Chain A
Amino acid sequence: MKKVLFTHMVSILLVTLFVAGLLLAIPRNLSKTTSAGDAQLNNYLQLKFLNINNPFQLALLQDVLDAAEPEGVQAHNSLITRLKNYETRQLEMMSRGAITRQELTWNRFFSLLLMFFRFLAIYLAVLFITYYAVETLAVYRFISTQADRPAFGHQMLNIWGRWLGHDPSLKKISLVGSFITLLFKTAVKALAYLVLFAPAYVIAYSVKSDFETSSDLFMILLAVFSNGLLLTYSNKFYTFLRNEARKGYVETARVKNLDARWEIDVEQGISHKRILHPLKDFQGHILQHIFINARFQYVNSIKEQASFLITGLMIIEMALNIHKHLSYELLQQILYRNYSIVLVILILIFYLVKFTEIGVDMLRFKWMKKIGM
């Protein structure tokens, strides 16, 4: 544990030093670039009779320059494009009502910190909810496959096969009934897949067109039910369950005659109550052997899940333009090229990722210590 913790700390230290170095270096470089870039345009921007917002005047300027210097047509084109871009940026900044250049002050830093804590709270809430949902969905799916219940697609193909088989003993009406039921179930499942796999912004824009800063609950729900997070990770947990089910110790549990029925709420089976419980325990059933091992295997994947979740949350805040949220702020500062603030936000997010990793490693080591590894 100490070695892993040390590696994390070294990594945090090195990245912090790296970012600190950049923080010291960037403003100087940036001001150089900006002034160099502006110098070429300044001559024209200072012409009082030239309104760069007017396309007609820009076209006229290009004609005049081309006439005066026929050999410099390409250079004139480039100049006009840059003047237009300058105008675009100006317009955009005006439309946002934002201040383009911002210094990194203590006040600014604390406001970023507040945004970070808000981000952290949402992140933790989503992480816990999704972890519970991932486990629960995976267990339900695992029980269903162990019970050898065929998938909807397979059932449909079977019905089709029986229909084609012209078995006179079969009543076609009952086949039609089964087919319709299955079709309905498949449609519901397909819809659920479409929703759960949709990027958050697709779901969000199908529900509302503008997003308030106070809608943290909306964000939590969106983060849980979008971007494929739930399905991807419940599938991962399910894969661990399946892999563990093939291990030798499950055979040993079987020959000791532990409960082994893969049905819900029946004798020697598993109850809904036990599956839905946040601290799942299947004592007496061979699922307990499989589950505790799969859970142990999954611990490392929490890091991956957390990292995916952070990306998802950032996409939500950026894509939905949710004001006063950390990622929206990051987007704005990238746009205005306030790289010092960008770096501060990035390092805060890096710390979040690292502390999650440390937390997960500590949890893993706690379990490993318990089993004497």
Chain B
Amino acid sequence: MNNREFNIRIEADHTLLLDIERFRLETGKITFLLGESGIGKTLISKALYGLLDSEPWEVQINGQPYYRYLKEGPVGRWQRDGFFVFQEPSSHLNPLLTIEQQLNEGDLAGNSYEPNILRRLWQNVAYKEIEDILKVFPKPFRPSGGEKQRVLLSMAFKKMQHFRPQKETLYIFDEPTGNLDDVYRNQVVAFLLEEYRKNPFTILFITHDYSLINELYRNHGDVLPQMRFKELQRVAENQLELKKFDTDGYLKWLEKAHPLQSGSLTGRKSLLTVEPQFKVFDRSFRIFADASHTRPAPLKVLSGKITYLKAPSGVGKTTLAKIIMGLIPAQQVHFELGALSFTEQTGRMRWQKQVWGKRAGMVFQHAEEALDLRSTVRQIFKGLPVQQKMTRNRVLKELSFIFEAPLQNTLLQRQVFHLSGGQKQRLNLLRTFILNVDLIILDEPLNGLDFNSIQRVLKMIQRKLNDGKGFLLISHNEEIFDRFIPEELQYYLWFQ
């Protein structure tokens, strides 16, 4: 069978980060590795591919020191024949070399598959535009996150087409579609599976995008027997286990989903009304009530209801949220927050005095950035404008709604830095949920969560809705939220 199993132990600065036994990688198969972000998927894959050979990492594989694994294990062959597509495309492209230079060095130099691959990954885009992208030095804002991700994928496909992979050859894709919308994601998956069908090789595909499962079941059923769905789970502190993921259970849950709130829309208090047209960064935007962008309508959030704002990534959903919260000044805007009226001329002090933590709050999408990682869990709740003091017991009680029981007392003293990505995201949500505000803006609230946590977060939202609070939701996770939010509360943003 040539299947490989690894016992992996990773430390940094003499601190154990993770320990997993029997991590199984089946040769010639596609392993989809699911699990909440920050649990250790990336570290494990980098350790296997031989990339953790510098400070501060100390790695043991199958009880052997890492240098021996690098010398004797399959890693030499994997590195020679395979490829690794990293997540966070922005940091994985060199800002001082053009995209073209980076697509033509090392193993990728001098092979001619590039144009076809680029055309395939940039469907519906003229090749001239793609050539323009090739001349660009990567910057934080250009090319976009999705384009950078496709550049990294192009490298993998280039190598794949030039050095025909064998069954043993390992390709690792670490969140390769995290920056792509569903259309591009599906194209990439289709391209990859097409290559796989030509001559099967070993693929480790890391993702926390559970909605991908539906796509695979729907359109790639023929390859399903070659696919393995696994989920990394924490069984003790730093102790991980690789479990089979119940794809059927997930699909059934999705099928049975009901809208988050009940009751009619009439007679509810208006918490937020945004006029359909606004302008920012010299660009005019419009809010529509339909997906085909024909009916401009004011965006409304009502008490006890959740409003869903949709748009392709990069269009400006987060920008609108920041305008509402007074973090970005607009050139033209008008909205009402309860009884307060705001325009582009409203002074910033007004938000500080009347809005932040009093009428409205916002949960930012990247918990890693939004939380102070150096603070302890307890300190996260200090300084919040809440009437009831955030005592130790109260914090513990609030945490019990979103963290697994039993809660350990030491959790309050733990640095946020040491929590997993999913735990951070839940803490990020809880900090705002604790506030006594009528309106909460949620920006990608399911980011980095595992299936279990997704269910918990949805329950949290339901609880707040029952208290009469309202939400404005921004998310690309349409497959899940379309089932939980009725169509009349869905809006579409577009720019002119």
Give the B-binding residues of A (Cβ under 8 A).
Answer: 146, 245, 247-249, 251-258, 284, 289, 292-293, 296, 370-373
Contact = CB atoms under 8 A, between A and B. Distances in A.
Given A257-B79, A257-B80, A289-B97, A252 B136 contact: no
A249 B136 contact: no
Given A251-B51, A252-B152, A256-B155, A292 B106 contact: no
Contacts of A372: 136-137, 139, 142
A252 B155 contact: yes
Given A253-B106, A257-B80, 6 more contacts: A247-B91, A249-B91, A254-B51, A258-B106, A293-B95, A372-B142
Contacts of A248: 86, 88, 91-92
Contacts of B108: 256
Nearest to A254: B51
Contact of B92 (A249, A257, A296): A249
A57 B142 CA distance: 85
B96 A253 contact: no
A293 B94 contact: yes
A251 B96 contact: no
Contacts of A258: 105-106
Given A372-B136, A372-B137, A255 B83 contact: yes
B84 A293 contact: no
B179 to A, nearest CB: 14
B93 interface: yes
A372 B97 CA distance: 11
A249 B105 contact: no
Contacts of A249: 91-95
B152 A371 contact: no
B107 interface: yes
B106 A257 contact: yes
**Interface SS, A side:** helix
A296 B51 contact: no
Interface in B45-72: 46, 49, 51, 54
B86 A251 contact: yes
B42 to A, nearest CB: 11
Contacts of A373: 137, 139
Interface residues of B, number: 28
Nearest to A367: B96
Among B93, B106, B155: residue with most chain A CB under 10 A: B106
Contacts of B88: 248
Interface of B: 46, 49, 51, 54, 79-80, 83-84, 86, 88, 91-97, 102, 105-108, 136-137, 139, 142, 152, 155
Given A256-B107, A258-B105, A258-B106, A296 B80 contact: no
Given A251-B86, A372-B137, A372-B139, A256 B93 contact: no
A332 to B, nearest CB: 48
Among A245, A249, A252, A284: residue with most chain B CB under 10 A: A252
Contact of B96 (A146, A255, A257, A371): A371
- Top 8 nearest A-B pairs by Cβ distance? A256-B106, A248-B91, A371-B137, A248-B92, A249-B94, A258-B106, A255-B84, A257-B107
A79 to B, nearest CB: 62
Contacts of A292: 94, 96-97
B95 A256 contact: no
25 contacts: A249-B93, A249-B95, A251-B86, A251-B92, A252-B86, A252-B92, A252-B93, A252-B94, A252-B102, A252-B152, A252-B155, A253-B94, A253-B105, A254-B51, A255-B49, A255-B83, A255-B84, A256-B105, A257-B80, A292-B94, A293-B94, A293-B96, A371-B95, A372-B136, A372-B139
B175 to A, nearest CB: 13
A289 B105 CA distance: 11
A370 B93 CA distance: 17
A256 B83 CA distance: 8
B194 to A, nearest CB: 22
Contacts of A254: 51
Among B49, B51, B94, B152: residue with most chain A CB under 10 A: B94
A289 B106 contact: no
Contacts of B97: 289, 292
Nearest to B98: A371
B162 to A, nearest CB: 12
B84 A251 contact: yes
A252 B107 CA distance: 12
A253 B136 CA distance: 18
Contacts of A146: 54
Among B51, B54, B97, B105: residue with most chain A CB under 10 A: B105
A255 to B, nearest CB: 5
Nearest to A283: B105
A247 B142 CA distance: 19
A56 to B, nearest CB: 71
Contacts of B137: 370-373
Among A146, A253, A296: residue with most chain B CB under 10 A: A253
A289 to B, nearest CB: 5
Contacts of A252: 86, 92-94, 102, 152, 155
Contacts of A370: 137
Contacts of B80: 257
A256 B105 CA distance: 7
Nearest to B78: A255
Nearest to A293: B96
A253 to B, nearest CB: 7
A214 to B, nearest CB: 44
A295 to B, nearest CB: 9
A289 B80 CA distance: 20
Contacts of A371: 95-96, 137, 139
A248 B84 CA distance: 12
A209 B296 CA distance: 86
Contacts of B136: 372
A252 B139 CA distance: 16
A109 B23 CA distance: 79
Nearest to B90: A248
A251 B54 CA distance: 12
Nearest to B50: A254
